[in-house]
Chain A
Amino acid sequence: MNLLAFIIGIAIPLALGWMMLLLLERKNPVLGNIERWFWALVLGPTLFALLAFIFHVLGITKLNLFGFLMPSIVLLLILLAVAKRTHAFTARTHQPAYAGSIPLPASLKVGILILAVWTGIKILAGSIDLISVPTYWDDSFNNWNMRGKMFFVTEMLTLEIPIGNGMIQSSAGVGSYPSTVPLLKTWLSTLRGSWEEPLVNGLHVIWFTGLLGSFFFGLRRRLSPLLSLGGTCLLVSLPLLLIQATNPYADIFMAAHVLLAILCLISLASQRDPEKSRTWTSIFGLSLGLLFFTKNEATVLYAPLLTLMLLWVLFEKKRAGILNVEQARRLLGLSMLLAMTFAAPWLLFKWSQGLTFGNAKSVSGLSIVFNALSLQAIWYHLTREPNWLLLPLVTPLAVILSGKKAFKLPDGILTVFLILVISAQIFIFTFTPLAPEAIMQTGLSRGLLHVMPIAMMLTIFLTEQLVRLTHSAPSS
């Protein structure tokens, strides 16, 4: 029964996401057929939860089977009708210009295949564990799963969790977290008819799969299939990423959404066709809008920086003569309109309920206090612990060796975004009362996790370029 509920419970959001992407692409598709499914796996469930949320807070539905199904089925039918009318289904067969295969030494081929098997074993073992053991981690039983179960029992978006005469650790601020992850757990349980841990925890495999698939196809636009597979294995090799991905935490979910928005931007930066640029901008708008409904970091950190990156790309395209001012303005307007359409419900709700705009702690009241211990903890986290294997050394090294190339479009998007996000995080953890999040290595590691797929992709691209350049350089 759990498996059946899981399949149906994922299939509907997946179809919704897929249809939405297909309609945004229509006559100018940019995603590959399989690639689109992976993107839908990330965006679809968030869109599904957002619809249920909107209808519920408007007082139209409860968080029950009807409340979840009705909005999505109605939208799905509308999207189907529009797609049929606009012949959007032809986009299905589109094959993007992925990089072709290149001759590789047999030893490297065998090495990558062994690495893939090793990676598969780790993912399989982690996934089995995820659905077979009780909810163990604090944020799962005090936030994500707790709220999901509460919504399931009450059929309402209850913001405050009962704290049992004040004895259970304070849940203050948890209600300000976007409710996507709990809502999807509520949905699966509603479909199943009972709260089942294997079912609600198994959901996290979906985001991991979506992240890995999107990452693989992100690499495929520049690298051969085998190298892309190897690169994806390297991503899974990051120990903390693997642990987070195979446990009921929400940061892989967040990382997948940030990655999709960035992938849109690097594809937009490489795109010379104005129509395909329009498609990438639209998908960026969707990704950015849904990002607001993931975690609070999206509102205060990632969305402003991603918008800044979009402005940079449009400015560069205008400067290169690919777009004129009017076209650039229109693309910016389109993406912002789409983003705000999807972001507005959650932002308005937060504002109307007086919820904080921080990660459980309000950012508005934070004072500036220097904390040297945070810097020590960050240094310790990056140099004494193999949380991200050698990435803290290899990524800066690849950027330094690549020089200016690392800062030019399209890779510059990854480099600059990464530098800005990490600088902002170091600033927040060093100069605000959020310092304990770094000293205890809690918020710090999760913040870094959000951008680790981007750091890995950047490192792979830059290293591949360096190696390729040395091969093509004439010997002396």
Chain B
Amino acid sequence: MQYTLPVRISVLFTSALTSASLLLPASAFAMQSQFFDFGAGQINATWEGKGPIQMKQTPNGVLLQTTGTGLFLTDTDLSVSPQMGSVTISSESPEGVYLVWIYKDDPSTFNHNLGLRLRAGANIATPFSLSEVQSWNDSSKYFGLLLLPNTTVLLHQIRFDELNAAERFLEIVRSFWTFDGMRTYSINFLWGPHIAENPVARQDLFAYVPPQTPSATAVMYVFLIVTLVLITAFAAIQKTETAKRRAIMLGSFLLLSVWILFDLRMGSEFLASMVYDARSYILSSEQDRTFRDRDRFYDFADFAKLYVADRESYVFLAEQQWPYLGNMRYLTYPSIPGIAYDRDDTWVIYHRSDVSIDESGQLTVDSEPVTNPGKIIGRFDDTSFVFRTQ
């Protein structure tokens, strides 16, 4: 008798799922993709260039070259409702191109676009997500690429993917449990869980500030408020003490459950950051360890400290002023870092590939001498060292 209720519930649940599945379109059960290939003999749409762009067919794809801003477009309608896609190209240098689309029914022919950073190399697929792009919809459109002036790329393929319902749901669950790291803003605020419905958006979940995807916290707030209003309304209609009592108990249980879910999510993110620190810094050897976004700065500061301990002040050049200058002041105090080019004889250089020594022994910044002749008295790595004038 004890097992009757669970069995009934499971039967009901299975039946409900089966019934619901019959109502879903067939596309809900399979990921669909549409490919636009550009290899010789593989082109399956009509493409045209607009503006100062040259197009040349090669065995592996179309070579696109621009002298000004050029468009490479097709009017072929998409047969899928994509959430993501990719552009595959070969390029000798990193290029910034845009996925561009123009709605056919838009009299202003406005160019909507999505920026893509293409890496250099052969056959590099650059994924993009469309789920969170508000200007993208299923209306009939011209689409293609926008290339900036003086761009040369060999285009192999443009691909669009429509995920099925199960895949999207799985991505939503995975994105909820995708963690942000310990970042410079984490002491003041935390993005918390965000919802992405495709793998590309999930991988870039915390790459943007603020994140482009919807906040799961906000979604949960809406869910809670709607549910609590319904519970309250139900109790108000019943007008009994028992109904009121049940409403309070149910409401409290609901809130506590969601609280614990979020505690697990945020607590896990916190622990993941601690584990990351342990692996990358605390338990790593001094030669290999790095710390969050500061790389090997703290070991460098320890190294440099020895050379400036007998100086009141020294020149310090880092890849960027914040946070390194203030941090260096704290670490080397009472020796104070600054920019007294003509007064201090000791120069501490951290991660500056533009700083080197010329033939006359002078320190140069962007090939311009900035010191009297001297020598490197301690080298930490290729771009970090301590220099002292003679």
A interface list, Cβ under 8 A from B = 115, 118, 121-122, 125-126, 128-129, 132-139, 141-142, 145-146, 149-150, 153-154, 161-162, 164-165, 167-169, 234, 237, 239-240, 242-244, 247, 249, 381, 383-387, 389-390, 393-394, 397, 401, 440-442, 445-446, 463, 466-467, 470-471, 473-476
In the assembled complex, B307 has its CB within 8 A of some CB on chain A: no
Partner of B188, one of A134, A168, A242, A442: A442
**In contact, A165 and B187 (Cβ under 8 angstroms):** no
CB distance from B320 to the nearest CB of A (A): 12
**In contact, B221 and A393 (Cβ under 8 angstroms):** yes
* Residue in chain A with minimal CB distance to B313: A164
Q: Given the known A-B contacts A134-B298, A467-B249, are A243 and B240 also in contact in the complex, defined by CB atoms under 8 Å? A: no
**In contact, A239 and B192 (Cβ under 8 angstroms):** yes
CB distance from A460 to the nearest CB of B (A): 12
Partner of A150, one of B228, B266, B333: B333
Q: Given the known A-B contacts A122-B271, A390-B258, are A385 and B291 also in contact in the complex, defined by CB atoms under 8 Å? A: no
Contacts of B265 in A (CB 8 A): 386
Q: State A138–B293 Cα separation when bound (angstroms).
A: 14
Contacting A at CB under 8 A, from B181-205, are 184-193
Q: Given the known A-B contacts A168-B325, A393-B225, are A126 and B274 also in contact in the complex, defined by CB atoms under 8 Å? A: yes
Q: State A386–B216 Cα separation when bound (angstroms).
A: 9
In the assembled complex, B217 has its CB within 8 A of some CB on chain A: yes
Q: Given the known A-B contacts A165-B338, A167-B338, are A146 and B330 also in contact in the complex, defined by CB atoms under 8 Å? A: yes
**In contact, A162 and B329 (Cβ under 8 angstroms):** yes
**In contact, A136 and B294 (Cβ under 8 angstroms):** yes
Contacts of B217 in A (CB 8 A): 383-386
CB distance from B290 to the nearest CB of A (A): 11
Sampled A-B contacts (30; CB under 8 Å): A118-B264, A129-B274, A132-B277, A133-B277, A133-B291, A138-B184, A141-B327, A150-B333, A150-B334, A153-B333, A153-B334, A164-B316, A164-B339, A165-B340, A167-B339, A168-B325, A240-B188, A240-B190, A242-B267, A249-B187, A384-B215, A385-B190, A441-B189, A442-B188, A467-B249, A470-B249, A474-B241, A475-B242, A476-B241, A476-B242
Q: Beta-carbon contacts of B267-297 to A below 8 Å, as 1s and 0s?
A: 1011100100110011000000001101000
**In contact, B224 and A134 (Cβ under 8 angstroms):** no
**In contact, A466 and B248 (Cβ under 8 angstroms):** yes
**In contact, A141 and B330 (Cβ under 8 angstroms):** yes
Q: State A466–B253 Cα separation when bound (angstroms).
A: 13
Q: State A410–B91 Cα separation when bound (angstroms).
A: 71
Contacts of B236 in A (CB 8 A): none
In the assembled complex, B71 has its CB within 8 A of some CB on chain A: no
Q: State A137–B316 Cα separation when bound (angstroms).
A: 20
**In contact, B330 and A167 (Cβ under 8 angstroms):** no
**In contact, A164 and B248 (Cβ under 8 angstroms):** no
CB distance from B216 to the nearest CB of A (A): 8
Q: Given the known A-B contacts A122-B271, A386-B262, A393-B224, are A445 and B336 also in contact in the complex, defined by CB atoms under 8 Å? A: no
Q: Beta-carbon contacts of B322-346 to A below 8 Å, as 1s and 0s?
A: 1101110111011011111000000
CB distance from A456 to the nearest CB of B (A): 11
Q: Given the known A-B contacts A126-B274, A476-B242, are A169 and B326 also in contact in the complex, defined by CB atoms under 8 Å? A: yes
CB distance from B286 to the nearest CB of A (A): 13
In the complex, the number of residue pairs spanning A and B with C-beta atoms less than 8 Å apart equals 184
Q: State A39–B342 Cα separation when bound (angstroms).
A: 55
In the assembled complex, B245 has its CB within 8 A of some CB on chain A: yes
In the assembled complex, B76 has its CB within 8 A of some CB on chain A: no
**In contact, B340 and A137 (Cβ under 8 angstroms):** no
Q: State A153–B334 Cα separation when bound (angstroms).
A: 7
Instruction: Number of B interface residues at 8 Å Cβ cutoff, please give it.
Output: 66
Q: Given the known A-B contacts A138-B326, A389-B263, are A243 and B215 also in contact in the complex, defined by CB atoms under 8 Å? A: no
B interface list, Cβ under 8 A from A = 184-193, 215, 217-218, 220-221, 224-225, 228, 240-242, 244-245, 248-249, 252, 255, 258-260, 262-267, 269-271, 274, 277-278, 281-282, 291-292, 294, 298, 313, 316, 321-323, 325-327, 329-331, 333-334, 336-340
Q: Given the known A-B contacts A125-B274, A475-B245, are A239 and B190 also in contact in the complex, defined by CB atoms under 8 Å? A: yes
Partner of B186, one of A135, A243, A383, A475: A243
* Residue in chain A with minimal CB distance to B302: A134
Most buried by B among A154, A237, A442: A237
**In contact, A237 and B263 (Cβ under 8 angstroms):** yes
* Residue in chain A with minimal CB distance to B283: A132
Q: State A397–B327 Cα separation when bound (angstroms).
A: 44
CB distance from B361 to the nearest CB of A (A): 25
CB distance from A121 to the nearest CB of B (A): 7
The SS class assigned to the A binding surface is: helix
Closest A-B pairs by Cβ, 3 of them: A164-B338, A386-B192, A165-B338
**In contact, B187 and A168 (Cβ under 8 angstroms):** no
Contacts of A137 in B (CB 8 A): 184, 187
Q: State A446–B215 Cα separation when bound (angstroms).
A: 22
**In contact, B327 and A242 (Cβ under 8 angstroms):** no
Q: Given the known A-B contacts A162-B329, A394-B255, are A237 and B188 also in contact in the complex, defined by CB atoms under 8 Å? A: no
Partner of B326, one of A134, A141, A446: A141
Contacts of B240 in A (CB 8 A): 476
Q: State A401–B255 Cα separation when bound (angstroms).
A: 14
* Residue in chain B with minimal CB distance to A108: B256
Contacts of B245 in A (CB 8 A): 470-471, 473, 475
Contacts of B225 in A (CB 8 A): 393
Contacts of B184 in A (CB 8 A): 137-138
Partner of B259, one of A389, A442, A471: A389
Q: State A61–B189 Cα separation when bound (angstroms).
A: 41
Contacts of A394 in B (CB 8 A): 255, 259
Q: State A150–B334 Cα separation when bound (angstroms).
A: 8
Other contacts beyond A145-B330, A385-B215, A467-B248: 4, CB < 8 A: A132-B282, A167-B338, A239-B269, A474-B241
Contacts of B259 in A (CB 8 A): 234, 237, 389-390, 394
Contacts of A475 in B (CB 8 A): 241-242, 245
**In contact, A135 and B330 (Cβ under 8 angstroms):** yes
Contacts of A150 in B (CB 8 A): 333-334
**In contact, B337 and A168 (Cβ under 8 angstroms):** yes
* Residue in chain A with minimal CB distance to B281: A133
* Residue in chain B with minimal CB distance to A166: B338
* Residue in chain A with minimal CB distance to B241: A476
CB distance from B240 to the nearest CB of A (A): 5
Q: State A242–B190 Cα separation when bound (angstroms).
A: 12
Contacts of A234 in B (CB 8 A): 259
Most buried by B among A385, A445, A463: A385
**In contact, B339 and A149 (Cβ under 8 angstroms):** no
Contacts of B331 in A (CB 8 A): 141
* Residue in chain A with minimal CB distance to B344: A165
CB distance from B121 to the nearest CB of A (A): 35
* Residue in chain B with minimal CB distance to A394: B255
Contacts of A169 in B (CB 8 A): 322, 325-326
Contacts of A154 in B (CB 8 A): 334
Partner of A133, one of B224, B255, B271, B282: B282
Most buried by A among B217, B220, B244: B217
**In contact, A128 and B274 (Cβ under 8 angstroms):** yes
CB distance from A303 to the nearest CB of B (A): 25
**In contact, B244 and A470 (Cβ under 8 angstroms):** yes
